Amino acid sequence: MSKQAFVAEDLFRMRFVGHPVLAPSGQEFLFVQTHIDEEENGYQATIEKFTGQAVVSFTRREGKGNVRDSAPAWSPDGKQIAFLSNRSGKNQVWLDGKSEPLTDLPQGVSSFVWAPDGKGLYLVAKEVTAEPQFRKGATVRRITKLRYKANGTGYLDGYPTQLWYLDLASKDVQRLTSGDYNCSQPAVSPCGRYLAFVSNRAEDQLKTLNDIWLLDLKTKQLRNLTGGLGSSGSPRWLPDGQHLVYVGHQKGIYPGGYPELRQIDLASGENINLMPNFPNYLDNSIGGDTRFDNGNTGPKPTADGQQIYFVATVGGSSYLFCLDYTTGAVSKVFGEGQMVITSFDVQAGQLVVNVATPSTPGDLWWGPLGGELKQITSLNRELFQDKYIGWPEVVHFTHPDGAQLEGWLIKPLGYVEGDTYPLVMEIHGGPHTTFGNAFFHEWQMLAGHGFAVLYTNPRGSLGYGEEFARSVVGDWCGIDAEDLQFMAEEAAKLPWVDKARIGVTGGSQGGYFTNWLISHTNMFAAAVTQRSMSNLYSKYGVADNGWNGDRYGMGGRDLWDDEDFIMERSPMRYARNVKTPTLIIHSDQDYRCPLEQGEQWYVALKRLGVTVEMLLFHGENHELSRSGRPANRIVRLEGILDWFQRYLG
C-alpha cells in the first residue's frame, strides 16, 4: 500500500504523552495524555494510569471546554494522588476521588509537591496584593520595573509568586515566603524542616540570575545557598538531609554555558561540581513541534542516595545517564542511536521513559533498571502506519576552518534515484538549542509533498560541547551564519538536489538567520521567516529578553557604546540586497521577538519591491508553532507549504 503525505490537519488526530510519574512501588505509573480538540479549538489533557497490566483512565473529560489535567503526583505512601486541573477555571490542586478542588487561590496554583509525611502540600502560587487605583473607566497600567512583560504571559500583573503550605486535614493555607520576589521549584528536606527553592531576590533589577534558597520552616530563617555566582535551578535533596544537588554553574552571566550537577553541603556551605569531566549538556535541548511533556529530566536521586539519574544531550540525541554517588563514575543507562528522551522517572528499581524518535512524537517505555523495557503506549500507530515518514540520514560536514558540523537530510516521498528535487533548509532558534532525532510534523509534511528537508546544528547549538556553544557569543550572524550557508551550499552539490529550487525557513533566532541569509546570498529561491528578528537595535528595547538575553548574547555590547556593531549584525541594514520571495509569519502577542521586528522587515522589503507577504496571527505569541490555537497552527503549516509550492514547486 502506498504511503500518504502528512497534511496540516493531521495535527487534530495526533495524541501526545508526557510527565510519567512512578508510584513508590515502581509497579504503576501515571502520565498525562494530550489531544487537540478541533471543535473547541484548544487542547484537552487527561491523566492516565498504567496498572502494571494495562492503561486505564484516571481522570476523564467532563463537559465542554479546554480542560487540562496535569502534574500528577503520588503521596509518599502511594495511597493518594494529587494533580492540577483548570476544570474549575484557573489551575487548582485536586485530589483523587474528590468532586471539588483542594485549593481556591485567586490566581490559581502553578505547581506543588507533597510534604514528606503526606499530611500537606507545598504550593507555588501568586500572592494577590493591592493594585493601584485609577479613575473609574481608565485603562492604564503603572509600570515601575525593568521586566514588565513576558512572552506567553503578557504584561505582568505585579503579583509575586510565593510558596504556601496546604494542610490537608484543615484545608488551611499558610503563606511561607514574602516580599516582591518570585519563588519556584520547592523541594522539601526528608525531615520536613527545610524547604529549598529557586528565587532571584536581588534588589538590582539588572541582576537576572536565580539562586537556590533555604527556608527553615521552624525558625523562618532564609539562607542564600548559591550567592548569585551563576545560573541555579532544580534543587533535589539527598536522603541524608545534609546535602542538596542542583543544576547550575558558578560562571556568572555565561550564554551557552553548560550547567553542571553540583552539590551543596549545608553544614560547611561547600559547593562542588559532582561531574567535572562530564562533557555533555545536562537536560534535553532538542526541540519539536508535537511535544506536550513537562516531566522530569533530572536530577533524580534514588531513595538510598547512591545513584543520581539525569537526561543529557549528545549531538542530536538525548539519553538517560546515572552518576554513581560513591565512585563518581557516570554511565549511560538508556538510549542508543537516533532517539530523544523527553522525561523519565525512577522508583524502587523500576524505570519509565518517554522516548521520541524521528518517526514518533513520543511513547512510554517501562521496566526494570538495567533490564529490558516494554513499550506501554503507541497512541499514534494507527495514524502513522499509512503516512510517509522520511527517516533522517545523518550528514557530517567539515567547515573550511576544520570545525565538525552535523545535520540531517530527509528525502521526499516518491524519491527516485536520478531525479532532482527541491530542498528546504530548516534553521533552529536559540541560538543555544538543538535540532535532532525528534519527530517534526512540519518537516514530514514538507517531505510528503515532494521537498527534501535539511536541518542542521551550526555553531552555537547545544550538544557538541561548551566551546562549540559559546563560540557565537558576541558574534551573532558571524560564524554561525557562515556555517549555515556552507552546509546549504554543500547540500546543493548533491546530485539529487535541484540547486535552483532551494528554500530556507526558521523561527526566532532561526528567523533572524533566515533574514540574514537572504540579505547576503541569492542561493535561496524562497524564504519563510517566522517570529524573526530584523533589527537588534530596536529589539533591545521592546523584547522581554532584549535588554538582557540579546545583550549578553551579543557579548555585552550595548546601545550607547556599540550602535554600529549592533546594526552591522542586523539584517535590516542589508535589506536592499534581498531578492528572495519571502513570507513573514508573526504573532501580535509575541513579546520575545515582538511584532515590530516582522513589521519592519515587511515594510522594508515591500518598499524595495521584493515579493513579500505576511501572515499576521492575532492573539498568538512566540509559541504559535508549538502550542498556539490549533486552527492557527494549521493555517501556519498550510501557509509554509503553499509558499514553497509556489516558488519551489
Are 421 and 497 contacting, i.e. CB atoms less than 8 angstroms apart? yes
Beta-carbon contacts of residue 476 (< 8 Å; ≥ 6 apart): 431, 512, 536, 553, 554, 569
Type of residue numbered 576:
R
Closest of 243, 309, 306, 314 to residue 281, by C-alpha: 314
**Secondary structure of residue 75 in the 3-state scheme:** coil
Q: Which residues contact 635 (CB under 8 A, 6 or more apart)?
A: 615, 617
Neighbours of 352 (CB within 10 A): 25
Q: Which residues, listed in sequence order, are joined to residue 246 by a DSSP beta bridge?
A: 262
- Report the C-alpha gap between 613 and 626 in whole angstroms: 22
**Residue 141 CA to chain centroid, in angstroms?**
30
Instruction: Assess whether the previous peptide bond of 431 is cis (omega < 30° from 0).
Output: yes
Determine contact, residues 103/166, Cβ cutoff 8 Å. Answer: yes
Q: 3-class DSSP state for residue 252?
A: strand
Q: What is the dihedral of CA 484, 490, 492, 496, to 10 degrees?
A: -130
Per-residue burial over 566-593, b = 16 or more CB atoms within 10 Å of its CB, e = otherwise = beebbbbbebeebbbbbbbbbbebbbbb
| Grid cell for residue 22 | 512512578
String of DSSP letters for 156-184: ---PPEEEEEEETTT--EEE---SS--EE
Active site residue ranges: 508, 622
Give the span between the Cα atoms of 267 and 490, in whole angstroms: 57
